[in-house]
Amino acid sequence: MTITLTIAAVLAGFLLAMAYWTHRLTRQGVKMVPQLGQIVPVKGGSIHYVEKGDPADPTLVMIHGLSGQLQHFTYALVDDLASDFHVLAVDRPGCGYSSRDNAELAALPEQARMIHEFLELKGIANATLIGHSLGGAVALAMALDYPDQTHALALLSPLTQEMPGAPAVFKPLEIRTQWLRNLIGYTIAVPLARKTAPLVLRDVFSPEPAPADFLYRAGGALGLRPSAFITASQDVIGVETSIGALCRRYKDLQVGGGILFGAADPVLAADIHGVNMTQYGLALDILNDRGHMILITAPDICADFIRRVAGKSADEATKIDA
């Protein structure tokens, strides 16, 4: 009994220490990456967004990927494209400074609904959707559910197909029990993320180097919060449970556009998540020697691709000269 109580006391002390460390890192992350835009309530949560450009111009809606935030787009693309377009970069529900009420809202149709509701409240129709990684799957769900409200799809390294499991770099997020997510999120997840961040960024950006300013300029420090871990874990499971149904609907896709992939993407393979989509009317372009984070490492090429897709009608979107 004494040994058991001692072990319990040590474990409790360790978890309390981790919780305190987590609290400190969370405060640092929020201070490093403050809220950039406005927040609009929607059913099931809220959407944080940054808006730039002339509202009279065609609208682009930018949707980031797993464990990301809208700063992935404000890093380089938003200001560039705002000279020609009305640009809205959003934090997906539960990410960055957006919120969502429960894990069930991580399903792709629910994320699509919440962003669509936000666009309706903003009076936005006929937007071109730019989705990166998991954001590509959300953009596809929006195009299928609201085709009359979608001008075109410009997808960057998108998730489009079912996978046997999460990519290796995101495997620790594959937790199916909410109480365990919360326990890990509020104790060990954030300190571990802080220590392993260089390795994770190396794996995600490979074969290209991660920028030195990623933590603050691209919002990476917002990942040092319990909510970021919990949301990302919910996203992994939400995608696993809903992407199969999405894939079965691609034959009904009415919205055209294109996909841009890095040939050396270590997270999502172009031959799986890109090539398969050409049969549904999406043109595919592949960039040699580029990885998964092309929106940050190749912003000029991505901006040109987006301009070409958004500047044409959905059935006229053509391939870029990559």
What three-state secondary structure class fits 282?
Answer: strand
SS3 content of the chain, % helix, strand, coil (to 5): 50, 15, 35
Beta partners for residue 103, in sequence order = none
Q: Where are the domains of the chain?
A: 2-316
Alpha helices in 66-107 (DSSP H): 71-74, 77-81
The pLDDT score that the predictor gives to residue 6 is 66
Handedness of CA 217, 218, 219, 223 (dihedral sign): negative
Q: Is the peptide bond before 207 cis (omega within 30 degrees of 0)?
A: yes
Alpha-carbon span 277 to 307, nearest angstrom = 20
Is 3.40.50.1820 the CATH number for 2-316? yes
Q: Which residues of the chain have pLDDT under 70?
A: 1, 3-23, 25-26, 29, 312-322
The pLDDT score that the predictor gives to residue 282 is 97
Residue 183 neighbours by CB under 8 Å, 6+ apart: none
Residue 255 neighbours by CB under 8 Å, 6+ apart: 143, 147, 150, 151, 152, 153, 314
Residue closest to 243 by CA, chosen among 69, 94, 108, 78: 108
Token pair in block for residue 84: 């020609």
pLDDT tens sequence across 3-27? 666 666 655 665 566 665 566 766 7
The pLDDT score that the predictor gives to residue 211 is 95
This prediction has a pTM of 0.92
The pLDDT score that the predictor gives to residue 48 is 98
The pLDDT score that the predictor gives to residue 315 is 45
What three-state secondary structure class fits 66?
Answer: coil
- Strand blocks (E) in the chain: 38-42, 45-52, 59-63, 86-90, 99-100, 127-132, 150-156, 257-262, 282-287
The pLDDT score that the predictor gives to residue 33 is 81
First to last CA, the chain: 68
Q: What angle do CA 76, 50, 114 make, to 5 degrees?
A: 120
Task: Give the other-Cβ count within 10 Å of 179's Cβ.
Answer: 8
**Do strands 45-52 and 99-100 pair parallel, antiparallel, or not at all (unpaired)?**
antiparallel
Token pair in block for residue 209: 């180097």
